[in-house]
Amino acid sequence: MKKITVLDIGKMKGEGEKIPVLTAYDYTMAKILDEAGVPIILIGDSAGMVFAGYKNTLSVTMDEIRYHTRAVANGTKNAMIVADMPFLSYQTSVEDAKRNAGLLVQEGAEAVKLEGGVVVADTISAIIDMGVPVMGHIGLTPQAIHRMGGYKVQGKEKKQRKRLFDDARAVEKAGAFSVVLEGMPSDLAREITEAISLPTIGIGAGPHCDGQVLVIHDILGLYDNIKPRFIKRYANLKELISSAVNVYVEDVKKGRFPGKEHSF
């Protein structure tokens, strides 16, 4: 395995090779994903919900994403590391955005992701001009949950579809190396994927995107506060962990642990 870069990701689209992306927030998980050959590891601001238990992603801070990025970078050899820019780290000014993107790179990120299309196009260009690749994120953008009136599929109406198309074009023109398409009808995601040159990474956007991204806690069955339809569960680690912990608790209570082999 070799280090994955933006060039490899672009090539994957060119060659029709699908791009699997997963989130990680800590060293141990990043090492597992990296060794499994996941090409892109995303330090998503979803950390706020699945790691810290916040009710949405809006309270996630730069300090938190910096900490998670450092931990993930320590566990990653080959995957490309993309760090999410949290709410308020790029919306306030282009200067803030550049500085915060730079801070994430100093922690080990090799690219940053930020939400929005037309309205953040100048910000995306400015970060890229600094030498930092950017992944866009359009459609259902969780940092705009209050404006959208909840986690609602976007682009169902004609006017909205056009807006999302404009967003995709703006992110492409700004120079992003890829774009997340979240929560939109499959046929719209397909049209966007066919129309733009950069790889599209879908989440709740159907099968036609160039890649797919999911939150690691969701696919492993660790987080069950919400279970949107677009999630596929590949394991039930919550159940596995619960039964292991129950056995441990019983072992300690009954004096079965530690045994001779664990003692000095």
What is the binding site for ligand KIV (CB under 6 A)? Answer: 23, 42, 44-46, 84, 180, 182, 203, 213, 215
Burial of 256 (0-12, 13-18, 19+ CB in 10 A): exposed
Q: Is 182 a catalytic residue?
A: yes
19 vs 203 by CB, closer to ligand KIV: 203
Least Å from the CB of residue 47 to ligand KIV: 7
Taking CB positions, which residue lies at the least distance from ligand KIV? Answer: 44
DSSP state string for the chain: -----HHHHHHHHHTT--EEEEE--SHHHHHHHHHTT-SEEEE-TTHHHHTT--SSSTT--HHHHHHHHHHHHHH-SSSEEEEEPPTTSSSS-HHHHHHHHHHHHHTT-SEEE--BSGGGHHHHHHHHHTT--EEEEEES-GGGHHHHTSS-----SHHHHHHHHHHHHHHHHHT-SEEEEES--HHHHHHHHHH-SSPEEEESS-TTSSEEEE-HHHHTT---S---TT------HHHHHHHHHHHHHHHHHTT-SS-GGG--
CB of 205 to ligand KIV, least distance (A): 10
* Catalytic residue from among 15, 110, 182, 261: 182
- Quick one: 23 or 123, whose CB is closer to ligand KIV? 23
Instruction: For the CB of residue 182, give the shortest distance to ligand KIV in the complex, in Å.
Output: 6
Among candidates 58, 30, 60, which has minimal Cα distance to 42? 30
Q: How far is the CB of 235 from ligand KIV (least distance, A)?
A: 18
203 versus 220: smaller Cβ distance to ligand KIV? 203
Nearer to ligand KIV, 57 or 161 (CB): 57
Residue 159 region by backbone torsions, left for phi larger than 0, else alpha for psi between -120 and 50, else beta:
alpha
Choice between 85 and 196, CB closer to ligand KIV: 85
Closer residue to ligand KIV in complex, CB, 60/260: 60
Minimum Å gap between C-beta 61 and ligand KIV is 14
Q: What angle do CA 194, 198, 199 make, to 5 degrees?
A: 80
Compute the least distance from the CB of residue 189 to ligand KIV, in Å. 14
Active site residues: 182
